[in-house]
Amino acid sequence: MSEARATILARLRDAQRTARLPGERPGTPRSLEFASRSPEECLERFQRELTALGVETYLEASAADVRNRVMTLVAGRRLLSWDPELLPYQLASVLTSFIILGRNTREEQAAAEIGLTGCDAAIAETGSLVLLSGKGKSRAVSLLPATHVAVVRRGDLYFSMGEFFRKSGERLAESAGCTIITGPSRTADIELSLTLGVHGPGRVVVVIGP
């Protein structure tokens, strides 16, 4: 296949000589800077965007409140989770044996009702959750169950995606898969009529801790 590579690159070299490409508008900068915002502003915007997306949101004042909230949400349901040790607010201490881990068989995972994850970052401007893949953080957890519960630490909020990309280059480089989740799974393929929960979770719940 290196033959194809050489052929294509040679074609491109030739093409480049006659290519007609328009110049940019005079004064167009090479990149844009987007201002970051205060933590309060980020939090307010994050909640507003989540609500607009149809995401259930809980703002909790203490770690104990977060644990109680999560317990209420998952009690009695088949639960697929990140490795509990990787969840914030010592959630591991209260999650009991009904938990299914990301390393169970696919069928067991697919039978779970709730997926519980932490969150590596969150984007206020778009109401997005950023999940980086890694050991104990199976990508299936936020994907297979019909409900996804994500626990977000207030300190992990960025205002914009651009800010997150800029400040987290190294973390992004270490992770094979980064999933940015903005609201529930949706389709409008049939006559643009909105349906939630096609393949991913139709219900997304965000618990924001201190």
Partner 1 sequence: MISPFQERVQAALGDRNLHVALDRATAQLGGRQSMALSTLENSDLVRDVARRAKMEILSDLGGNLKRFEGQLLANGAQVHWAEDGRQANRIILEIAKQRGLKRVVKGKSMATEETHLNAALAKAGLEVVETDLGEYIVQLADSRPSHIILPIAHMTREDVGRLMEQRIGVPYSDDPRTLAGYAREKLRDAFLRADLGITGANFGVVQTGTICLVTNEGNGRMVTTLPRVHVVVMGIEKLVPTMADLDLFLKILARSATGQKLTAYTTLIRGPKKPDEESGPEELHVVLLDNGRSRILAGETAEILGCIRCGACLNACPIYKNIGGHAYGDTYPGPIGAIVTPGLRGLRDWNELPGASTLCGACREVCPVRLDIPRMLLSLRKDCVEQLPNPLGLRIGMKVYGMFASRPALYRRLAKLGRWFLRALAEEGWVKKKVPGLAAGWMRVRDLKAPAAMTFQELWRARKGGG
Residues numbered 138-167 forming contacts with partner 1, rule: CB under 8 A: 138-140, 143, 160-162, 165-166
Per CB under 8 A, the list member of 65, 94, 180, 203 interacting with partner 1 is 180
Per CB under 8 A, the list member of 71, 75, 96, 103 interacting with partner 1 is 103
Q: Positive or negative CA dihedral for 151, 157, 162, 163?
A: negative
Q: Does 25 bind partner 1 (CB under 8 A)?
A: yes
Per CB under 8 A, the list member of 61, 76, 97, 106 interacting with partner 1 is 106
Q: What is the distance between the alpha carbons of residues 27 and 46, in angstroms, rounded to a whole number?
A: 33
The two most distant CA atoms of the chain are separated, in Å, by: 67
Q: Does 111 bind partner 1 (CB under 8 A)?
A: no
Q: Which is nearer to partner 1, 26 or 155 (CB)?
A: 26
69 burial type by CB count under 10 A (0-12 exposed, 13-18 middle, 19+ buried): buried
Helix (H, G, I), strand (E, B) or coil at 195: strand
Per CB under 8 A, the list member of 43, 63, 92, 178 interacting with partner 1 is 178
Q: How far is the CB of 196 from partner 1 (least distance, A)?
A: 9
Number of residues counted as binding partner 1 (CB under 8 A): 79
* Beta carbons within 10 angstroms of residue 185's beta carbon: 18
The residues, any chain, with a CB within 8 Å of residue 101's CB and separated by 6 or more, are 80, 81, 83, 138
Helix (H, G, I), strand (E, B) or coil at 38: coil
Per CB under 8 A, the list member of 5, 40, 72, 76 interacting with partner 1 is 5
Tokens for 193?
A: 């009529």
Q: Which stretch binds partner 1 (CB under 8 A): 65-73, 87-95, 113-121, 136-144?
A: 136-144
Q: Which is nearer to partner 1, 184 or 209 (CB)?
A: 184
